[in-house]
Amino acid sequence: MIDVLVVDDDFRVAQVHAGFVELVPGFRVAGRARTAADARAKAAGADLVLLDVYLPDESGLNLLPDLAADVIMATAATDQESVRTAFSRGALHYLIKPFTAGELGERLRAYARYRERLANGGQLTQDDVDRAVRVLYDVPRGVPRAVKGQSPVTSRLVAEALRRADRPRSAAEISDEVGISRATAQRYLASLAQSGRALVTLRYGTTGRPEHEYVWRPGASFTT
């Protein structure tokens, strides 16, 4: 399991990004931080950090060299200097907000493949290093993945139920409406989020873990 620290000063954005991370098998959220100081304290327990540039106490770019974990930038900073500085200080990827669950998911899966390439337990050859770098940046763009084993009929029913909903819906609510199991609804909703057609939020109750909720992304195409 790859542990991810989400660093963003906006707790709502951090919740959404954490939800995106949890959709990708093999990844889990190890924590969240809203300041550079908090990120420094929590980064030791993470394998990967999703890092914003704009933090209230210090630029995330200044934080980069102090982090032992790998870093993917997740930020609204689009100026050339920020991008160059991020890569020169060790960032592996640079994602510009707002991005979809699918866009982050592709980079997380590429990062997982990169780690696998470097985890042979011995000395690396040049070919090993070259292959690891290639898979890190082998990120499909603009083409949603077909999900093996999913029924087109069920997929359409779930998408229709979510699109006509007047508020965010949980997997349990969609499962009741469509007449499928909660686990099946969760699987299809996660697929919609990964393709960028649905957005993920978190609902906090009085006890227990927060529940994922899904809302149809405005302007999203109904078909992949």
Domains and CATH numbers, the chain: 2-136 (3.40.50.2300), 152-216 (1.10.10.10)
Closest CA relative to residue 220, chosen from 185, 201, 195, 187: 195
> Burial letters for 67-92: b for 16+ Cβ neighbours within 10 Å, e otherwise?
bebbbbbbbebeeeebbebbeebebb
Q: Where are the alpha helices (DSSP H) in 118-151?
A: 126-136
pLDDT at 211: 75
Six-digit token pair at 83? 């991008």
CA distance 141 to 159: 22
CA 50 to chain centre: 9
Calculate the alpha carbon distances from 187 to 20, 154, 155, 183 in Å.
14, 11, 10, 6
pLDDT at 222: 58
pLDDT in tens, the chain (224 residues): 999 999 999 888 888 899 889 888 899 999 999 999 999 999 988 999 999 999 999 999 999 999 989 999 999 999 999 999 999 999 999 998 888 888 898 899 999 999 998 887 678 889 989 989 999 988 765 444 445 567 777 888 888 888 888 888 989 999 998 888 888 888 888 888 877 788 887 776 655 566 788 888 877 665 54
pLDDT at 199: 84
With H, G, I as helix, E, B as strand and everything else as coil, classify residue 30.
Answer: strand
pLDDT at 140: 65
**What sign for the dihedral angle of Cα 129, 132, 137, 140?**
positive
Q: Is the pTM of this model over 0.95?
A: no
